[in-house]
Structure 1
């Protein structure tokens, strides 16, 4: 009987997370926002862990309804046609980023936190499985035996792309860059670049045009004590998530007095901004995409997770969008040769396909980290993408042979 009464708390909790991040989720603020009391919230839902569980449960329910709507939308579409599939993927991301914005931010925030605290979000892996299932059901008619592999790749790609789509839904240069990688995703990275993806280098450049000239919204002079303390705060964010950032924790990380942290960053919000600023500087120099095989919480994936934190912060602070997009456009920047050879063999991959593949590996790796690094057969490896590419090449030939589906 209590479950229906709990529903008014769900939109309030989502709004708190969308506006303030996971650190904005407290029983008191949710109860107040719902015009109720903490006692009533505890009675109908339980503690904060139970509230998080209820949010995930509600999202899984909404995803089931979403699947029904998307199956109806695509019933007369040929999803074996890469152009059609690419359009559907883009529309899916845009719906999530705009129409379902608060729900999408909530899920993204949970993913970021679950990577460092899997035990705090025990039901999140089920929601991630639902994402694979969503695409598998959409693709099963037109892709048949190949539906599952492509579905997992699309779900993983969207997992890495979504925070940036939320942060910059109307940024033209980003949308063009995203369209090129979605195109290669829908093509299974088969063949070489064509159409929009042939101009990928120009799209990458345009998405970051003027970034170097944009002044950081944080005063962190290189080599200063202030920058050093901010770096400690960034370490805490990477290790413990945004919820772990406190003056005491940052002081412990740096082995410095609590008063020193408070001197440079008096409030918790100041500390949060300092951590984000340090992460932006760090990511500019160090982001490497992701290891092809390591999905057990390595530094590379932990840093990638931090880029999601910056993108989600940009969703609340437009001044950070340019920095979030700089991180997005650099996906695969320094691993192109490795990814290209591992997946494309001697033929290699074009730049757009390499970035697409890297984002798939990132999305899969992040999901594995929510399971404590124990992704097992759910983890996508380079060899899996090589097989997907081969299958897509064969499928493309079959599509060309049978021609377009008659209109009806």
Structure 2
């Protein structure tokens, strides 16, 4: 970072202006020029202070991380008042943590998930993200230890990851009763030991009800319509939901915009066809070494690694992008509901150790999927170390189940 130091009040005001831009329009909309227009600073002053956009992004990430850590501290202080800490109280605190982030810190939450989902992290931004993850995990572990929980070290990282994942979904789906019931059921299952007891709730009706929010007939993926659907899916996977428009799809499919409009009149029509195609293509990747046939022609092999874990991470990332877009545009909420309802569909393939217990129902599959996905997005660096860390969290969650049911 370059240039003279400014007062803390001026810098905080500048970062709040940056947050407004990112929360409303996404991280890609933040630049020295847009920030200058929003804050009243001159472009020359911003350039002199930050030097280039990356230094601005690093400063923004650092500011938002500090805000997140302050919020974690406030929640932890409140949570410590809740004694004794049984599973019912712990479930209430988990819900409170999510709802507070969605209702009272919505702009901060939106900007933070923009940073988390940006895969082009600098080292400074990755360090800021990692500091928040550690603080979140430490807060839950301290709370569990204070409550005398015998497996605080195992459960705390799982709760922290789950809260991150469900906060993102709650930003777009929090008002839906079907989603609220499903979230509550997932929390209870996680705290009770993941795998079902003989009296366990049947999750299938709740999931089906949430999935039914998208009331559309399956798209036709044959002929010219199918070619355009493939282009949409490719664009979503590589550039995100925010990049979708008739013109952008036309360029990717190498057809006139009028052709795209002929088959898909609205943006919702475009999204439905492309997301449906993308999920089908990625699902094929789990059933065989990679998608084959016509889907190959759009370069799906370039989108993801053929390993099942990598395919699911791509599915997870697409779901996150849909949820974040739906948090700004309520018209996309049905697509977010569809993405959330799909969590855990491939758990038997991705979590073979859990499947080997013989107790893997859809409720257990959803919990493991949500925890794994949340652990992925809250990691500042996407590498083999991160993957091993996620695997360890899941292994310990399964250990917690076995120990708690002995």
In which range does the TM-score fall when normalised by the shorter chain? 0.7 to 0.9
Distance 1:45 1:159, change over 3 A: same
Matches within 5 A, 1:222-241: 222-223=221-222, 225=224, 228-229=227-228, 231-239=230-238, 241=240
C-alpha distance 2-369 of structure 1, shift in aligned 2 (>3 A): closer
From 341, 361, 374, the counterpart of 1:363:
374
How far 1:210 moved relative to its partner?
5.1
- After TM superposition, give the deviation of residue 245 of structure 1 in Å: 8.0
Matched, 1:122 2:117: no
2:340 aligned to which of 328, 345, 350? 328
Tell me the equivalent position of 2:209: 206
Instruction: Return closer, same or farther for 1:9/1:200 CA change in 2, 3 Å cut-off.
Output: same
Residue 107 of structure 1 pairs with residue 112 of structure 2: yes
> For the structure 1 residues 318 and 149, does the alpha-carbon distance in structure 2 shift closer, same or farther, using more than 3 Å as the test?
same
Does structure 1 retain, via aligned residues, the 8 Å contact 2:268–2:332?
no
Cα distance change on mapping 1:125 and 1:393 into 2, 3 Å: same
- Measure the CA separation in 1 of the matches of 2:256 and 2:135: 42
Distance 2:244 2:30 in 1: 14
Q: Which residue of 2 aligns with 1:281?
A: 276
Mapped contact 2:229–2:277 kept (Cα < 8 A): no
1:223-258 per-residue CA deviation (whole Å, 9 max, x = no partner) reads: 354653453354244235568889999899x6x75x
User: In the alignment, is the contact (CA less than 8 A) between 2:234 and 2:278 conserved in 1?
Assistant: no
- Normalization by structure 2: what TM-score? 0.78
Q: Which residue of 2 aligns with 1:62?
A: 67
Distance 1:24 1:188 in 2: 42
Taking a change above 3 Å as real, the CA distance of residues 177 and 24 of structure 1, as seen in their structure-2 partners, is same
SS of 2:391's equivalent? coil
| CA RMSD in angstroms, aligned pairs only | 3.7
Task: Report the counterpart of residue 380 of structure 1 in structure 2.
Answer: 391
* Aligned residue among 32, 36, 39 for 1:34: 39
Structure 1, unmatched stretches of 5+, are: 395-408
> What does the per-residue CA deviation read over 1:312-351, in whole Å, with 9 as the maximum and x for residues that have no partner?
1111211110111111012112435874x62275451343
Alignment of 1:331-342 (within 5 A): 331-336=343-348, 339=351, 342=353
For the residues of structure 1 that align with 2:237 and 2:381, how far apart are their CA atoms?
14
Following the alignment from structure 2 to structure 1, what is the Cα–Cα distance between the partners of residues 96 and 361?
A: 25
Instruction: Please give the TM-score of this superposition, normalised by the length of structure 1.
Output: 0.78
Q: Deviation string for 1:150-189 (max 9, x for gaps)?
A: 1111122223222210012211111111110011122232
Separation in structure 2 between the aligned mates of residue 8 and residue 271 of structure 1, nearest angstrom = 38
- Is residue 2:89 matched to residue 1:90? no
